[in-house]
Amino acid sequence: MAIITIETTPFEGQKPGTSGLRKKVPVFQEPHYLANFVQSIFDALDGIEGETLVVGGDGRFFNEDAIQIILKMAAANGIARVIVGQNGLLSTPAASCVIRKYGAMGGIILSASHNPAGKNGDFGIKYNARNGGPAPESLTDRIFENTKSIDRYVTSDASDASLGTIGTQSLEDMAIEIIDPVTDYAELMGSLFDFDKIKALFASGFIMQFDAMHAITGPYATAILEGTLGAAKGTVINATPLPDFGGGHPDPNPVYAKTLFDTMFGEDAPDFGAASDGDGDRNIILGRGCYVAPSDSLAILAANAHLAPAYQAGLKGVARSMPTSGAVDRVAEAKGLSFFETPTGWKFFGNLLDDGRISLCGEESAGTGSDHVREKDGLWAVLLWLNILAESGKSVADILSAHWQTYGRNFYTRHDYEAVDTASADAVMDGLRSNLNALVGQQFGDDTVTIAEDFSYTDPVDGSVTSNQGICIVFESSARMVVRKSGTGTEGATLRLYLETYEPDASKHTVETQDALAGLISVAEHISGIRARTGRDAPSVIS
């Protein structure tokens, strides 16, 4: 066994996006591609010698190969100990939990979240810092700078580690600890929620279906829901993680989680339905015959979190990403909670959570979380919902309609135009940007534009400024349209159009979402020219 230095040259385009570096598997398989990025991470960190690192991923194709490369490089870079989930598995929130629990310097998480996997699917890598959260922009910028000038990396010629064996092994002078991926996370969940109440709910005949979409949450959901909480066997479907996610697209939205939606809207539907994504950080919530839009779910959790032991004393504050609907703003206002609006991406919540300014946050893209870890957390949200259902004795549909009655309803939808060519996507964004000043004061139908801006965020904790985060156009009626370019895609560009109106009148709350928003949808097309410029006559996904 020896430590060796390998000469290399930079690859173009190793710039981390909304959530780490994501590329097609064959790109990551090119010799030196992954190693260059990993060395660039290590070189961007100060004093890594003697430290502990956590490594794990969502089990997608290339996960274990990548971990073997990382382990050898970690040893060569002087890291003292690496904690790895058995068989290379760790959900994203579990990785955050393990980093925090064992006081690690940080972790490398291997995932492309909800993007499809397999030989020609997507792969991804990101670095999470000591707080368990995604690296801040200052660090990802440093990593990117390193990728542009890298000329060598160090590794070991030792043989592969045995990822299936729980316990400690060594590689050069470094210890590798293989841990059960579920235990620490399950223990944390048990400390936050009233498991006895939830157990009693299941014992009373409450039926649930959880779709793990052949991705990472299978083992976690089976152990916690069926094992600890006594939900019926078979509650968790598609429970075995597969390297290609069974050929599916593990994004829990009405399109890709259709089976679950059909079940929940079918005859004899269960009481409660939920699903998570590829790496376990997203969630969707359904009741019998009803779907809770993620922005509403965030607002409902904010309004009811005190029913769970961890949040009994009340929330410190709440935050949402800019494109997320304003439903949670109304809860914050009514409860006198401090409130923050951040750019898209979980990394922007990190400082607010670390500084104790918020305890709950979320995004419209099916992400909700709290200060228990520094990632959004799919199963956590499901368990908080279960705790609220158990404590209140109400159904999901009752909770949803009561919430709208109290706070009014924010009708909300997101229209995605996927894989459009980059030039037309840029034309849409540039067209909007150059027209912002002229839009203010213009009338469309009965409504007038009051604000038209390119969203920019100043972090209240460290003062850092993040600009160009999406075009946001607000109308007098408080209707809002947002257009931004996705930062997680791997093919062409994806444009996201977010639309929202507010309806205080409870007699109008049951209107179908797309119908309620029809007027705004056509105004948004008029203002952005999205369909005309991309040549698409409809969005690829409506959620």
By beta-carbon proximity to ligand G1P, the closer residue of 283 and 304 is 283
Q: How many Å apart are CA 128 and CA 361, to the nearest integer? A: 18
Q: Is 488 in the site for ligand G1P (CB under 6 A)?
A: yes
Residue at token pair 């160090």: 154
**Stretch binding ligand G1P (CB under 6 A), from 172-180, 363-371, 497-505, 530-538:** 363-371
Q: Using the rule CB under 5 A, which residue among 51, 184, 251, 279 binds Zn ion?
A: 279
The residue among 311 and 346 lying less far from Zn ion, judged by its C-beta, is: 346
Q: For ligand G1P, which stretch binds (CB under 6 A), given 1-9, 340-348, 445-453, 501-509?
A: 340-348
Contacts of 76 (CB under 8 A, 6+ apart): 3, 4, 154, 155, 156, 172
Residue numbers annotated as active site: 113
Q: How far is the CB of 360 from ligand G1P (least distance, A)?
A: 16
Q: Mark 79-118 with x for binding to ligand G1P (rule: CB under 6 A) and - for no binding.
A: ----------------------------------x-----
**Residue 346 — left, alpha, or beta (φ > 0 → left; ψ -120 to 50 → alpha)?**
alpha
- Interface with Zn ion in residues 460-519 (CB under 5 A): none
Exactly one of 28, 37, 245, 346 binds ligand G1P (CB under 6 A); that residue is 346
Write down the least CB distance from residue 114 to Zn ion, Å.
Answer: 5
For residue 542, the one-letter residue type is I
279 binds, among Zn ion, ligand G1P, none (CB under 5 to 8 A by kind): Zn ion
Phi, psi of 437 (to 5 degrees): -60, -40
365 binds ligand G1P (CB under 6 A): yes
Q: Closest separation between CB of residue 321 and ligand G1P, Å?
A: 6
Residue type, 248: G
Task: Find the shortest distance in angstroms from Cβ 416 to ligand G1P.
Answer: 9
Helix (H) or strand (E) holding 427: helix 422-439
Q: How far is the CB of 366 from Zn ion (least distance, A)?
A: 9
Q: CB pairs under 8 A, 24+ apart, for 196-202? A: 197/387, 197/390, 197/391, 198/229, 198/383, 198/386, 198/387, 198/390, 199/228, 199/229, 199/230, 200/390, 201/386, 201/389, 201/390, 202/229, 202/230, 202/231, 202/232
How many binding residues for ligand G1P (CB under 6 A)? 14
Contact set for ligand G1P, span 302-321 (CB under 6 A): 321
* 113 binding Zn ion? (CB under 5 A): yes
Print the SS3 string covering 335-356. HCCEEEEECCCHHHHHHHHHCC
**Which residue's entry shows tokens 């607000």?**
474
Determine if 64 is a binding residue for Zn ion (CB under 5 A): no
Count of CB atoms situated within 10 Å of the CB of 25: 19
Q: How far is the CB of 483 from Zn ion (least distance, A)?
A: 23
What would you measure as the largest C-alpha separation in the chain, in angstroms?
74
Residue 277 contacts Zn ion per CB under 5 A: yes
Stated as kind and residue range, the H or E segment containing 318 is strand 317-321
481 near 498, Cβ under 8 Å? yes
Which of residues 51 and 377 has its CB atom nearest to Zn ion in the complex? 377
Residues 281-300 that bind Zn ion (CB under 5 A): 281
Determine contact, residues 110/58, Cβ cutoff 8 Å. Answer: yes
Q: How many residues does the chain have?
A: 543
Measured from the CB atom, the residue of 442 and 486 that comes closer to ligand G1P is: 486
Which spans of this chain sit near Zn ion (rule: CB under 5 A)?
113, 277, 279, 281
Which spans of this chain sit near ligand G1P (rule: CB under 6 A)?
18-19, 113, 321, 344-346, 363, 365, 367, 486-488, 496
